[in-house]
Chain A
Amino acid sequence: MRFRALAPAFIATAIMLAPLATALAQSSTDIPNLPPSSWKPERPIEFVVQAGAGGGSDLFARIMADLMTKEGLVNVPIKVVNKPGGSGAVAYAYVNARRGDPHVIATATSSYLTTPIQGHSPSSYKDFTNVAVLCVEDYVAVVRSESPYKTLKDLVEAARQKPNSIRIGGTSVGSSDSILENRLEKAAGIKLNYIVVQSGGEANAALLGGSVDLAGPNPSEAAPLIAAGRLRPIAMFSPERLENWPNVPTAREQGFDVTLEQHRGVIVTGGITEQQSLYWQNVMAKLFQSDGFKKYMSDNGLRPLLRIGKDAEKYVAEQHQYYAEILTELGIAKKQ
């Protein structure tokens, strides 16, 4: 394993604070000034998705592939290839086998980092060229509308009085759901009963049917059920309130310092030249500014966050450090 989960604590702390510093220094949507690239694709592009058709990553890739062609950003055909399996391990092993080929790109989200940390993937983020991060998804705490808990504070109070009495539904240990639970337990000093479900859909069903009391989906996953009055949002795990959800207070406001975001980015195979990387950086920066991509982000509740080239590498490294630390604490990071 390449990451340093057991690095001295002070280094970890310093890096932990880094996201804050960069967030202050750099606005989330600044378009960097990039020199044009001398390289151009010579063959069709293979755009690998680390999940099956119909999911969030698939949608992200298909919209991007469509826009890159329509906006004339890429002048060769783009083929979207789904390689689901092993929480990304299958897809990234496939991409890494094509090392040095700038015609192979892939989507990346939190599993891109968390799966290798758990030792389930032979390739890590350092094996690839992290050209761009385009947006992030937030997380929201939801309860069913008949629930006695009106705020996160109510719920934390109940959990304090009776540990393990509140059931929270989320996907497998190591997923962002489980990381969120761990952060909330730590920040509030409580113990929740974590019920592992297989998908966000199953979590929603369990919540509606009363098998669990709380879940932490992405706002877009919960929005229809909230709009229909079936679920109630009690806290947003974003640094600030979301534009579209001005009435939902953040966890921070309620006294629990828990934030979590899941990035959506694009990677290219490792071992490509500077110019080839620059080509993709240019494409991604232009794609980000297109109306089609802005519409996609607002339709799907995504928060714009642009990091290109070196900034993307830095963002990914920071996120990696953050996840590595939590997964080590959860006892599921692979020891070096």
Chain B
Amino acid sequence: MEFNDLLLGFSIALTPTNLLLAFIGVFLGTVIGALPGIGPSAGVALLLPVTVGISPVTAMIMLAGIYYGAMYGGTITSVLINTPGESASVMTTLDGYQMALKGRAGAALGMAAIGSFIAGTVSVVLLMVAAPPLADVAVTFGPPEYFALMVLGLTALAGLTSGSILKALVMALVGLMLGTVGIDLMLGAPRFTFDNVNLLDGLDFLPVAVGLFAVGELLFNLYKPVRAEPIKAKLSGLLPTRQDWRDSRGGVARGTLVGFFVGVLPGAGATIASFLAYAIEKRISKHPEKFGTGAIEGVAAPESANNSASTGALIPLMALGIPGSGTTAVMLGALTLHGMQPGPLLMSTHPDVFWGLVASMYIGNVMLLILNLPLAPMFASILRVPYSVLIPFIIGIALIGVYSAENSLFNVGVAIVFGAIGFVMRLYGYPAAPLVLALVLGPMLEKALRQSLQMSLGSTEIFVTRPVSAFILALALLALLFPLMAAMRARRGKRVLAS
């Protein structure tokens, strides 16, 4: 990296137009992230046509702003109404919503904003100094390595919820089963599509999440009001305290690093990053029992991770022209639309685009911090609106979002059906998070498994003869055995006490 390159970048990013468009991008991103039913991928896609006619670097600044801005905004509905705005915010619902119920929504949102800012800024530094070599390492991650990573993710699923492990596992299985709907990628045969063309691509995460979380919550409240009274919280007490920061800083640091390196892998993404960050935090915590009841590090770690993952995902895109997620695929399209050829030469043939984008991300993250910290108490005070008014309003917006993502009325129906399912799940205490996570991970796991076995012509040795895959699988095995051993030790301890 040349210092001059960065200067060039700032000279581009600091022009009034680019500053304005960066602001519009991060602001829209916050809104899009906050709206359940419309994720960053659909948000970038919806705004892509608007960028026609403006310069490529300005377009990229705005679209990237939407992407990482959405990672900030996704926190808001997760914390306030237990509904993830995008798949990378599912983990945030677990502790964030509990904090909101205790009147600490402002602290959760504030800490998420601070964690996101730190993660965003650190990961832009990493993007700046190491994009090309990191991209080269990332592509050596083949199907066996992805398979191992997904297995590691799934082993952490059971430990996620504070309730019954059995119920969490049942929900994870249901999620995996729902993930098999659609055309079989390898053989081209439709599975469980019942001759409905809308099911050929499987079930989308967003309508299912809107149904299970938001609509399900609404129905449950009709049946048995959880929160008839608005939460009373003073605006002054709504920011994170010094103790909150002390509890969170380790999680922010670990979340940033885990998120970044998972994000760089083109086949992984922010969802898995936030998921692993949460699992790690819970595992190394001195008081894991607090997770799921409103532990602030349970918000800080995944929120930092999803932010640095979104920056990491730009590395294979900018350094190789390879998109790793739905959102970066649309951004690749944006580059093409603007007459660029995204690839290894982009950084040398169009240094203005790369360095302008990098510089704008420093600025954009500052904007988001300034935007989100003062807004945290304001968003949190939304909870003062009576629940019976707030939730129908949010569901209206969420269903519009679900429709507009793919112009699909079918997906609105999916959200409503899953709302009914979500109600029954709430009624019997089945958690929704393992289901939606398994729905996201399942198809990735299946693809990686079948690709690996095709590569090795059927031999499972491929998973243990490749060092990286073997190492990750060993970690997964440890993650499985560790709680079992801990449980046995605890039981032995109890027996000793009893005798």
Contacts and interface: CB of A to CB of B under 8 A. Distances in A.
Contacts of A193: 454-455, 457
Contacts of A80: 49
Given A201-B323, A208-B139, A208-B322, 7 more contacts: A53-B46, A120-B190, A172-B185, A193-B455, A195-B451, A195-B454, A228-B343
Contacts of A82: 45, 406-407
A206 interface: yes
A66 B201 contact: no
B413 interface: no
Given A53-B49, A59-B333, A173-B187, A84 B406 contact: yes
Interface string B309-343: 00000001000111110000111111011010111
Given A82-B407, A86-B200, A209-B140, A224 B343 contact: yes
B407 A201 contact: no
Contact of B455 (A173, A205, A211): A211
A85 interface: yes
Minimum-distance CB pairs A-B, first 3: A224-B343, A54-B333, A86-B200
Nearest to B190: A120
Contacts of A85: 197-198, 200-201, 406, 408
A167 B462 CA distance: 15
B186 interface: yes
B401 to A, nearest CB: 15
A86 B141 CA distance: 28
A204 B320 contact: yes
A194 B186 CA distance: 10
B200 A120 contact: yes
A313 B96 CA distance: 58
Contacts of A66: 52
Given A62-B337, A197-B451, A202-B266, A173 B344 contact: no
A224 B142 contact: no
Contact of A194 (B48, B339, B454): B454
A227 to B, nearest CB: 6
Nearest to A212: B455
Contacts of A209: 139-142
Interface of A: 52-55, 58-59, 62, 66, 80-87, 89-90, 93, 118, 120-122, 164, 167, 172-174, 193-199, 201-202, 204-206, 208-211, 223-225, 227-228, 230, 299-300, 332
Contacts of A93: 197
Interface residues of B, number: 55
Contacts of A199: 323, 329
A232 to B, nearest CB: 14
A198 B344 contact: no
Given A193-B454, A225-B321, A201 B332 contact: yes
B346 interface: yes
A18 B329 CA distance: 38
B343 A83 contact: no
Interface in B179-197: 183, 185-190, 197
A227 B343 contact: yes
Contacts of A300: 336
Contacts of A206: 139, 142
B337 to A, nearest CB: 6
A164 B454 CA distance: 10
Contacts of A174: 188
A167 B455 contact: yes
Nearest to B339: A299
B492 to A, nearest CB: 46
B167 interface: no
Contact of B342 (A62, A164, A224): A224
Contacts of B426: none
Contact of B186 (A81, A89, A90, A172): A172
B289 to A, nearest CB: 40
A164 B457 contact: yes
B283 interface: no
B345 interface: yes
Contacts of B267: 202, 205
Contacts of B323: 199, 201
Given A54-B333, A58-B333, A85-B201, A224 B139 contact: no
B186 A223 contact: no
B447 interface: yes
B143 interface: yes
A282 B339 CA distance: 28
Interface string B290-303: 00000000000000
A118 B187 CA distance: 11
Nearest to A295: B339
A204 B140 contact: no
B343 to A, nearest CB: 2
A164 B201 CA distance: 30
Contact of B332 (A54, A89, A164, A173): A54
Contacts of B188: 118, 172-174, 332
Contact of A54 (B201, B331, B346): B331
Nearest to A54: B333
Contacts of B331: 54
19 contacts: A54-B330, A54-B334, A55-B333, A59-B337, A62-B52, A66-B52, A83-B407, A84-B201, A89-B197, A93-B197, A120-B197, A167-B455, A172-B188, A194-B454, A196-B186, A201-B323, A202-B267, A205-B322, A225-B344
Nearest to A226: B343
A208 B320 contact: yes
Contacts of B316: 205
Contacts of B48: 53-54
B330 A53 contact: yes
B337 A81 contact: no
Contacts of A86: 183, 197-198, 200-201
B197 A121 contact: yes
Contacts of A227: 341, 343, 345
B321 A224 contact: yes
B399 to A, nearest CB: 18
A26 to B, nearest CB: 31
Given A195-B451, A332-B188, A230 B330 contact: no
A210 B190 contact: no
Nearest to A224: B343
A198 B322 CA distance: 13
Contact of B454 (A58, A196, A332): A196
B365 to A, nearest CB: 24
Give the one of A93, A174, A204 with max B CB within 10 A: A204
A42 B201 CA distance: 35
A208 B320 CA distance: 10
A210 B408 CA distance: 38
Contacts of B451: 195-197, 211
A54 B200 contact: no
Nearest to B317: A201
A6 B273 CA distance: 50
B345 A59 contact: no
Contact of A198 (B185, B197, B408): B185
Given A53-B46, A224-B343, A228-B343, A195 B197 contact: no
A82 B221 CA distance: 36
A335 to B, nearest CB: 13
A296 to B, nearest CB: 10
Give the one of A52, A299, A300 with max B CB within 10 A: A52
A194 to B, nearest CB: 7
B408 A225 contact: no
Contacts of A228: 343-345
